[in-house]
Structure 1
Amino acid sequence: MMKVTLMRSPNGRLASHKACVQGLGLRRMHQVVEVEDTPCTRGMVNKVSYMVKILEES
């Protein structure tokens, strides 16, 4: 599991990047969600790495 925080707004971003943020379960700024550390979610985090921050991995 890893904790991901939305640090920058998805407003004005590419539709695919907005979809990645939504797919991770992030809705609001500074919201923290815990997602499974799978290759799929890791790819989504890498795609929007400029908008999110990984807090911890376990």
Structure 2
Amino acid sequence: MATIKIKQIKSRIGAPVDQKRTLIALGLHKISQVVEVEDTPSNRGMIRKVFHLVEEVK
């Protein structure tokens, strides 16, 4: 299955609890950390929820 690389670009400090939990669910714990997740509709939805804190790495 296809994968997506995402990178956390901003701190989760000050973000609502649900967004913090979404970052943890994606596997992101630190700024500049890059993780590779499967390209599924549920993961796309989580990325969309925290789009202002992450970016897609090409």
Q: Scaled by the length of structure 2, what TM-score is found?
A: 0.93
Segments of 5+ residues of structure 2 without an aligned counterpart are none
Match of 2:45 in 1: 43
The ranges of structure 1 where at least 4 consecutive aligned residues each deviate by more than 3 angstroms after the TM superposition are none
Deviation at 1:12, TM superposition (A): 1.0
Task: State whether structure 2 residue 31 is matched by structure 1 residue 23.
Answer: no
Partners in 2 of 1:19 and 1:54 — Cα distance?
19
Q: Percent identity?
A: 39
Count of paired positions: 56
Partners in 2 of 1:15 and 1:27 — Cα distance?
14
Across the aligned residues of Structure 1 and Structure 2, the Cα RMSD in angstroms comes to 0.6
Q: Which amino acid aligns with 1:17?
A: Q
Q: Scaled by the length of structure 1, what TM-score is found?
A: 0.93
Partners in 2 of 1:16 and 1:30 — Cα distance?
21
Segments of 5+ residues of structure 1 without an aligned counterpart are none
Task: State whether structure 2 residue 38 is matched by structure 1 residue 53.
Answer: no
